[in-house]
Amino acid sequence: MASFSQRVRRLYEWAKKSSITCFITKKIEKLRNNIVFFSIAYDYAGSHRTSNMLDRLMQRMDMHLFSAQYFHGFLFSAELNIRAWALILNFAPSNPITIKKHNGA
């Protein structure tokens, strides 16, 4: 946590000295002002610092929902749709070598 805070402070000092755009400087200042909230992640050892893995899953879900033209009917049928998509995603092979082996290509 202390090293993270120090890195953010140094970044802020650098941003003030350099000739970067005001927009970026304001974002770095916002980070510095909210450092307490960002540093909470350091309380959990071994946790991921980015949401990249979640973002990839959500993009695939968004593509599924778009191609299905989102939800129709009842809330129960919408829940079944998402559950079915999640099951298929969990059990379908995603490694290209595995896909090639099972498709006979």
What tens digit of pLDDT does each residue of 41-81 get? 777 877 776 778 788 888 999 999 999 888 888 999 999 99
Q: Specify the pTM.
A: 0.46
For 15, other C-beta atoms within 10 Å of its C-beta total 19
pLDDT of residue 72: 85
Please, what is the average pLDDT of the chain? 85
Structure tokens at 44: 């959990």
16 Cβ contact list (under 8 Å, min separation 6): 25
% of the chain residues with pLDDT over 70: 95
Task: Decide if pLDDT at 5 tops 80.
Answer: yes
Query: From residue 34, how far is each of 2, 5, 25, 40, 52 by CA, in Å?
Result: 14, 11, 14, 11, 22
Dihedral of the CA atoms 48, 50, 54, 60 (nearest 10)?
Answer: -140
